[in-house]
A = this chain, B = another copy of it.
């Protein structure tokens, strides 16, 4: 029953949170970036001027605007300024090299690239690689073109007509290795931001330190969630444990997010010491270990374990903590907290399904693929209807992650999606590394798998066979890939041996993973 009444449809869009906070918390500090800071009234004005600037540069509704920056105020402003101009935000991974960035720039069709001066070289290489003209705007100090244009621009705020229209494109390394642009809609980002604010208890007294890159799922939608709460964004351009601990204390940080690998560095930093105020953090990408949880507990840091993918606006699930678990022994608590858990308050229930799409028994033992649907699932992959159709089946997003459903409805991942290596919180598609390896004239076949690593969580390890009569060393091959890939994607080790294969010729990566896990540690 649709009511055709004078009732006005008000589209959900995360930019509305900035409008509200600029009204309610006008004089409160919204953004801190080094020595600079802005109030919520100023933050909104800058975002609206950024929109005006973009319109002046020819950005029309639906046009893509790329940003290449570490966690600076400019990148945060772009999360509002770009959609206020009707544009689609493409926040690029600042750890990629110029060639890789060029591929994404080309794929997105972005007409403007805003970049931080520290990444100027890569920005220029990327723009040169794009087949169409890209307008470059530098940012990063008061003399930059960005600051000049923002200062000159008139405020602009275009309305959102359809809340399921395109808000942002987040590139991820999928299993195929090609660029996959995950399309976010306004509705999903709005609801996900509310869910994050609710679950992590953000409010106007919160101080959120940006340890998580904003280019990861738009900062797991905390770019919008912290703004909705009227909290303080503390920008952090470069991760450094000492600097993080300094900011924890100086800004009395209440919230931050990070992968367990980053968390391990923080927990083990020499500056680490127990905090005497409320400090909550959310982690994801891999379950936090019992040892890490124990250490964080000593430090007075409260941990929430989240789970999600780029395709699900970041954390679609969380290990929702039940009060009755507080009384369990520490080991049991760590075991429970390591589970990926249940859908967040705006998500639909997760499923674990077999190859036919039927639910596996909720016995904590039978493995299947995790599947999700709902308002926090992407629209699809940009300009890739085939990949979209393959991943979104009947509205269900197939995560590629393999896990079990426990009897209490909590999901636990047992095996990571076969082809993805998560190194330092970054996704590395094994196939992309394999393609770089087989580009070497001596290489016949290559298979890359994850090996556990105490610092990076996982690192890529390559198993390689050579062409008859050819020779190459492991060091030469690693160097070869470093000329083609971002360094974090390059194999840390190369092993020359026959690849185990199934009867149909598919490489048995689970065999290689077991071998890689059993390798002797590297010397030094």
Q: Which residues of A contact B (CB under 8 A)?
A: 1-3, 5-10, 12, 16-17, 19-20, 23-26, 28, 61-62, 162, 164-166, 183, 185, 194, 197-198, 201, 204-205, 228, 320, 322-324, 342-343, 345-346, 348-349, 373-375, 377-380, 388-389, 392-396, 408-409
Contact = CB atoms under 8 A, between A and B. Distances in A.
Nearest to A205: B323
Nearest to A190: B346
Contacts of A408: 26
B380 A5 contact: yes
A342 B23 CA distance: 8
Contact of A409 (B2, B26, B205, B396): B26
A345 B228 contact: yes
Contacts of A194: 194, 198, 345-346
A112 B198 CA distance: 37
Closest 3 CB pairs of A and B: A8-B395, A6-B392, A5-B380
How many copies of this chain does one complex carry?
A: 2
A322 B204 contact: yes
Contacts of A343: 20
B166 A409 contact: no
A198 B206 CA distance: 14
18 contacts: A1-B61, A2-B162, A3-B183, A5-B379, A6-B389, A7-B164, A7-B378, A7-B380, A8-B374, A8-B377, A8-B392, A8-B394, A16-B348, A26-B408, A194-B198, A197-B198, A204-B323, A228-B345
Given A3-B164, A20-B342, 19 more contacts: A1-B61, A2-B162, A2-B165, A3-B166, A3-B379, A5-B388, A7-B185, A7-B392, A8-B373, A8-B392, A8-B394, A12-B375, A19-B349, A20-B345, A20-B349, A197-B198, A198-B198, A204-B320, A205-B323
A183 B4 CA distance: 12
Nearest to A323: B205
Contacts of A3: 164-166, 183, 185, 379-380
A10 B348 contact: yes
A322 B24 CA distance: 9
Given A1-B62, A23-B349, A345-B194, A7 B204 contact: no
B198 A1 contact: no
A191 to B, nearest CB: 8
A17 B379 contact: no
Question: Of A23, A228, A389, which is in contact with the most chain B CB atoms at under 10 Å from its CB?
Answer: A23
Contact of A6 (B24, B204, B380): B380
A7 B377 CA distance: 7
Nearest to A193: B345
Contacts of A12: 375
Contacts of A6: 380, 388-389, 392-395
Contacts of A379: 3, 5, 7
A342 B22 CA distance: 12
Contacts of A345: 17, 20, 194, 197, 228
A183 B16 CA distance: 25
Contact of A1 (B166, B388, B389): B166
Nearest to A25: B322
Nearest to A162: B2
Contacts of A342: 20, 23-24
A343 B375 CA distance: 24
Contacts of A197: 198, 345
Contact of A165 (B1, B166, B320): B1
